[in-house]
Structure 1
Amino acid sequence: MEALAVRLSHLDSQAEGAIRVVMFYDTLMRRRVDLPALARASAGLAECVAGIRLHDGGRVIRFAPDGGRARAPAPPPSTVTPISLDDEEIGAVWLERPGPPGPLDELLLDRLALAAASVVERYGPARTTMADPALVELVISEDADEAARARALRLLGFAPGPPVAVAAVVSPAPLDRVARLVCPAGLVKAAPLRDVGVLLAAAVDPARFPAGSRAGLGRSWREARTALRFTTPGEPVIRYADLGALALLADVPPEIARANADVAALARLADHPDDLRTLDAYCSTGSLRGAAELLHLHHSSVARRLGQLGGVLGIDLAEPGGRTRVKIALTVRRLLDG
């Protein structure tokens, strides 16, 4: 294999070199090499440092062309190619070549990425973030017995022990990317379930959800879905445990909620979104100046608008009890709107 690498590094014909690169990696795969051997052989072939990184656990492998481990810190790579498995990006391979990339670097990395994906799958279980939706649904189902749920968790890679955190997610970003962002170090599994994404993880970092995402976090799917219903643009990630008594509002029958006088009064403001935003800002901050800052208005303008709205609603918004009534009514209205 070393002799082949030497010959490849001196080829004049790019076409012949491409064929031999393919043959080189075919030979490596027939020998069933592991990831370090792949990186070492690739570094010798490319005559520069070659690296492999897997997203799961953050494992990084770097070898120099002399066959030894590459020194840290690593310089910026000259060429990078993602490793994909089952249509999911699970890592990356790269070369650290001084100067411009070589004519066969792109092909070499394509073959290295394919070989790395094959190694990960062979010596798995496959370390993909996206999981079998049937297994995930079994874990979160309230009807599944404990033995079946434990078996599903084990198949997903979770060891017996602490309870698994559950997140219900709506995001413009791909679900596997969201999962890796909010669970950068630990095991995480994700699957789409109808209109909502499901994350199962040992722990979730609520501060790492990408912009535009909404998420509810809980110890069960019911808790996570309930928390998701309470999210707003101003509070896009909510833990069920932080809802406290507010969680009871999610169980109020819709017909009873709509018949409530305060909720019905807010419904009549549906065609005036600026009025609803003013009420929401005031109830969220608890002060005129706080609401004015959120709305980018002068506090006197907010005071005048709130005075008019208080008259329409028949509620004294200057009183703490009035603000509480409106805040609850706004929350119930959001729950009704889904």
Structure 2
Amino acid sequence: MKKTIRRLSIVGASSLVAALALSSCTTSEPAGSGSAGAISGDILFYDTSGGVVYEAEAATLFADFTDDTGVSVTDDYNEAATKFFASAEAGSMPWSLMLFPTVNDAATAAADGLLEKIDTSIVPVDKLVDGTYNEYGIEVGTFGMVLAWDDDAYPDTKPTEMADLWDLDTFPGKRCFFNNPQYGWTLEAALLADGVAADDLYPLDVDRALEKLDEIKNDITWWTSGAQSIESFENGSCDIGILWANRAFTALDANGFPMNITWNEAGYSNSVWSIPAGAPNAAAAQELLAHVINNTEGQIAFASVVPTPIPASVKALSPTDFPEQVQAFLPVGSNVDGSVLQDSDYYLESLTEVLDQFNRWVGQ
């Protein structure tokens, strides 16, 4: 099913104001295990999202936790998990909470013995959607990788599928892609555009995908962070491309940019919160996980600004519990009927080879 999101009303900063109002409400359930009063200090958060995502977390879920416990959450932004693995290998672990950008990153860390187990006497994992957690982490954000475009650039015919990225006549302009294919849906989009059925994507035919990308290589602008992805649209570096749905919403809602998206042939995946082995404040991190799961109003507040709902909210709430302007950007329900769940097991097994081949192609 092809589903295109037409331009929504611009509410700008009012979304954040409303979210803050929601998050200031008292939840109807206890924050954690009842031992939260014994924790103190700071949680240094290894954050691979940054930008508006962390700002929204800080203003809602993390602010609520600090108000209730006195424990602050300090952000340490890193583009990928590389620094975490290097520090773990060196025996240095300053972080108490880790955001792995993908499920397979978290699986690798768990297999290497780099993570603490989730304390289920504190963290109510029974409130999470089945399959969205394990003993070493909880999936905290489902993110969509969608076809997006400047709606003013194409006032008549609108893109509807990934093949439109290769149609330079109907949709002229530079194309924006993330420079890391694992998080950017770049190879999958190329294969879909080349006629591969969604059910046949994995294992990826990387050679075929790169041959398809060769056709538009000179028309690609690479973005390297979520913030840069929407800046590339806003400063005119590209007119069409693949974006994370939450960033597309930010461009539209907060920045007033005429961003338009379709979920058709989009990809979606999950990020994971875990507690590093040897974390300096693991006790507080356990309580933070519990607090977030119990804080339904904070979940709504966060996802109203950044539409990457955590599984607790997906289980307990429906999209209509969120403000109207964000509903179409949430990677849930009928929005993802025409989308594809990324195969994290494939990337777990093949990431090194895929990145090597992709990076050599980019450098040619």
- TM-score (normalizing by structure 2): 0.23
Based on CA coordinates, which of the two structures has the bigger radius of gyration?
A: 1
Structure in which a larger fraction of residues adopt helix? 1
Q: Report which structure shows greater RCO (CA 8 Å, sep ≥6).
A: 2
